[in-house]
Amino acid sequence: MRAAAFSSPGGPEVLHLMTLPDPAPAAGQVLVRVHAAGVQPYDCAVRAGWLPAGVPPTLPRIPGNEFAGVVEDVGPGVDGAAKGAEVLGFGQLGAYAELLAVAADQVVAKPPMMPWAVAGGFSAGAQTAHIALAELAPAPGETLLIHGAAGAVGTVAVRLALSAGATVIATARPDNHAYLRELGAIPVAYGEGLAARVRAAAPGGVDAALDGAGGAALDVSLDLVADRRRILTLVDHDRADTLGIRVTPPLRSAARLAELVGRYSDGTLRIHVRRSYPLAEAADAHREVETGHGRGKVVISVVG
């Protein structure tokens, strides 16, 4: 199979198109012919040398932990996943490849009307936002501050918080403000004076904050939210324990993903794909994600 992989950690330039042995599904696994895979900061950290817990340190290593494709084969003991089924799902590594063996309980059916690019980049952002919102529990009438609101996780978080009845103050670059207004959020710009701008937009105060930017944005959240257990960071994990704030627990599941796919199917949840790269240009996809800017999701198209 073809895969975008690296033989030694480093910058985006270490990702190369390689020909690697086809995987075979073990007991409880399905073999998926990948059509599209999402790209996220998690993948960039893997490429730079970080190794998720429980993953063997073998090389070459294939990044990618969200995907969509067609079931090509099933391993022993798998029920409910048939060859030829269109699915989307999640794992830890390996999605930047033509074939991926993954646990059968980590895939769900792809709706026929969901484009492959959307499906490939759906699982991580949608589940991360859903888990984070469950931790912060914004209630009707409360105000939630979301940093990095125009990104993949932020966009879903905005929609979920609004559907829960909360008011959303969304930080982003000015060229993303119209997009955030269309979602229903109140946009404010990053930079010096951010705390004052948020206070002006939320005269009743801020009840909770979801930090997708880190650094100075997180510092503003600490200043504005009285209860630090109602601040969750997606990026500054090293500061979380010291500050007494939350991070997202590892609670991804097929049941959670199926619920979110259902929201997509009924029109209450949408994912914006800003760019799709071919597999051979995975390094460029990482470069774009590592800019830290941009609206919606970057994906890799494996088929086509």
The enclosing H or E element of 19 equals strand 16-19
pLDDT in tens, 10-59: 999 999 999 999 999 999 999 999 999 999 989 999 999 999 888 999 99
- pLDDT category of residue 304 using cuts at 50, 70 and 90: low
Q: Is the domain of 237 the same as that of 280?
A: no
Helix (H, G, I), strand (E, B) or coil at 219: helix
Please tell me the predicted confidence (pLDDT) of residue 240: 93
Q: What phi and psi values does residue 220 have, to the nearest 5 degrees?
A: -65, -40
Q: For residues 190-204, b (16+ Cβ closer than 10 Å) or e, as one string?
A: beeebbebbbebbee
- pLDDT category of residue 128 using cuts at 50, 70 and 90: very high
Question: Is the CB of residue 117 less than 8 Å from the CB of residue 85?
Answer: no
Q: Residue 194 pLDDT more than 80?
A: yes
Rounded Cα distance between 195 and 147, Å, is 12
% of the chain surpassing 90 pLDDT: 89
**Residue 263 belongs to a domain:** no
Please tell me the predicted confidence (pLDDT) of residue 269: 92
216 Cβ neighbours under 8 A, 6+ residues apart: 194
Average pLDDT over residues 53-69: 95
Q: Is the domain of 35 the same as that of 147?
A: no
pLDDT in tens, 246-285: 999 999 999 999 999 999 999 989 889 999 999 999 999 9
Q: Which range marks the domain in which residue 129 is found?
A: 125-243
Average pLDDT over residues 172-185: 94
Question: Is the CB of residue 243 less than 8 Å from the CB of residue 229?
Answer: no
Count other Cβ atoms within 10 Å, centred on residue 288.
Answer: 16
Rounded Cα distance between 63 and 35, Å, is 15
Please tell me the predicted confidence (pLDDT) of residue 249: 93
Number of domains in the chain: 2
Average pLDDT over residues 179-203: 95
Q: Is the domain of 232 the same as that of 199?
A: yes
Q: Residue 185 pLDDT more than 70?
A: yes
**Residue 148 belongs to a domain:** yes
How does strand 167-172 pair with strand 99-103?
unpaired
Of 223, 243, 263, which residue is a domain's last?
A: 243
Question: Is the CB of residue 216 less than 8 Å from the CB of residue 194?
Answer: yes
Q: Residue 238 pLDDT more than 90?
A: no
CATH number at residue 77: 3.90.180.10
Question: Is the CB of residue 288 less than 8 Å from the CB of residue 298?
Answer: yes
- Alpha-carbon distances of 115 from 68, 249, 271, rounded to whole Å: 10, 29, 10
Q: Is the domain of 89 the same as that of 9?
A: yes
Average pLDDT over residues 107-124: 97
Average pLDDT over residues 154-165: 95
* Averaged pLDDT of the chain: 95
**Residue 278 belongs to a domain:** yes
Please tell me the predicted confidence (pLDDT) of residue 32: 98
Q: Residue 291 pLDDT more than 90?
A: no
Q: Is the domain of 106 the same as that of 71?
A: yes
Q: Residue 79 pLDDT more than 80?
A: yes
**Taking the chain, what is the end-to-end CA distance rounded to the nearest angstrom?**
15
**E strands along 183-272, which residues?**
186-189, 208-211, 231-233
Of 290, 288, 257, 291, nearest in space to 273 by CA: 288
**Residue 264 belongs to a domain:** no
Average pLDDT over residues 170-193: 94
Please tell me the predicted confidence (pLDDT) of residue 166: 98
CATH number at residue 180: 3.40.50.720
